[in-house]
Amino acid sequence: MAETTLEALGGANRRRGPWSGLRRRESIAGFLFLLPNFLAFFVFTLFPVLAAIFLTFAEWDLATPPRWIGLGNFAMMAKDDLFVKTMGNTFYYTFTAVPTGVLIAFILALLLNRKMRGILTFRTIFFLPNVTLGVAVAIVWAWIYHPEFGLINYMLSRVGIKGPMWLFDSRYSMPAVIIMSNWAGIGYPMLIYLAALQGIPAELYEAATIDGASSWQQLLHVTVPLISPATFFILTTSLIGAFQGFDQFYMLTQGGPAFSTTTIVLYIFNNGFSYFKMGYATGMAAVLFMCILIITLVGWQARKAWVYGSVEA
């Protein structure tokens, strides 16, 4: 009886042997396929993050080894008037460009959410700037804003108005960049809003009409609440993107005039790659990260009060 049991177990092991080897080979092949992703994650994500955490508390000029200085970089920020100014510029740009951009995108989506001949062409036209190279957009707008040969001042001169200096005047430089940024980036939020509007059941509008609701009341009490998840997504991603704004400022004004358009990211870039204060630049990047994190968390908690379908935590 014991011999029969041992033979049966041996036969089972022999039957499992090839399958076990196949599973092992499949596991090895799977790990080999994942290996490039793991390597890329460690080299381009994990290592830079760990290095940034260290450099936040160090002094490094790229030529000599980093030197630990503790909270020295943060103490330097507290005394740096330009750091305070660039943070103010960043908040001004973010909390002006984002609300106006979201409002314009919503209005455009309402206008384009209808059945008419050529509507796809109009949608494409409004979305095209979003896929256009940012450098090309900046070059075109730099010509549009030119105080002598620019299109805007030319049109103003035709009606007897002397146009401002735009990018060369600290009073108008930031509004000019905001206008360009909204024009260039309006396509993506418009597309999100358009998808959200088309997802609203037509029966809700029919019921509201039967109840005597006007078009304005339908907009306020049906459309706006039901697209609030899309609004929350657009606001969150737009705020994060605006805080990291760089290319439009670098190409249009390089932070001038008189640092009126120097944002924190541009200031970080200048400190790291122009002044070779890599540790100080990394410290400012950490402050920017904390600002974005706090604003995102506040927005996440506030969504419960106005986003349709939010689940109470």
Range from 15-24, 49-58, 201-210, 277-286 carrying the lowest mean pLDDT: 15-24
With cut-offs at 50, 70 and 90, classify the pLDDT of residue 218.
Answer: very high
Picking from 139, 108, 140, the residue whose alpha carbon sits closest to that of residue 125 is 108
Residues 282-290: what's their mean pLDDT?
Answer: 96
Whole-angstrom CA distances from 111 to 2, 62, 106, 117, 246 are 84, 53, 9, 13, 31
> How confident is the model at residue 133, as a pLDDT?
86
> How confident is the model at residue 86, as a pLDDT?
97
| Number of neighbouring beta carbons within 10 Å of residue 153 | 20
Task: Name beta bridge partners: 68.
Answer: 58
Q: Could you please report the per-residue DSSP string of 166-211?
A: GGGSTTTHHHHHHHHHHHHHSHHHHHHHHHHHHTS-HHHHHHHHHT
| Measured distance CA(263)–CA(95) in Å, rounded | 13
Would the pLDDT of 115 be above 80?
yes
> 44 or 10: whose pLDDT is higher?
44
Residues 6+ apart with CB under 8 A from 9: none
Would the pLDDT of 117 be above 80?
yes
Please write the tens of the pLDDT for every residue from 36-78: 999 999 999 999 999 999 999 999 998 899 999 999 999 999 9
Please write the tens of the pLDDT for every residue from 17-29: 555 677 888 888 8
| Measured distance CA(97)–CA(178) in Å, rounded | 6
Would the pLDDT of 5 be above 60?
no
Element counts in the chain: helices (H) and strands (E)? 16, 2
Residues 271 and 288: beta-carbon distance below 8 Å: no
CA 28, 32, 37: angle at the middle one, nearest 5?
140
Residues 140 and 132: beta-carbon distance below 8 Å: no
With cut-offs at 50, 70 and 90, classify the pLDDT of residue 3.
Answer: low
| Measured distance CA(191)–CA(261) in Å, rounded | 29
> How confident is the model at residue 310, as a pLDDT?
73
Burial class (CB in 10 A: 0-12, 13-18, 19+), 34: exposed
Would the pLDDT of 202 be above 70?
yes
Omega within 30 of 0 (cis) for the link into 36: no
| Measured distance CA(209)–CA(215) in Å, rounded | 8
Give me the percent of the chain exceeding a pLDDT of 70. Answer: 93
Would the pLDDT of 118 be above 90?
no
> How confident is the model at residue 9, as a pLDDT?
47
Residues 115-137: what's their mean pLDDT?
Answer: 89
The HSE-up count of residue 66 (CA atoms within 13 Å, CB side) is 17
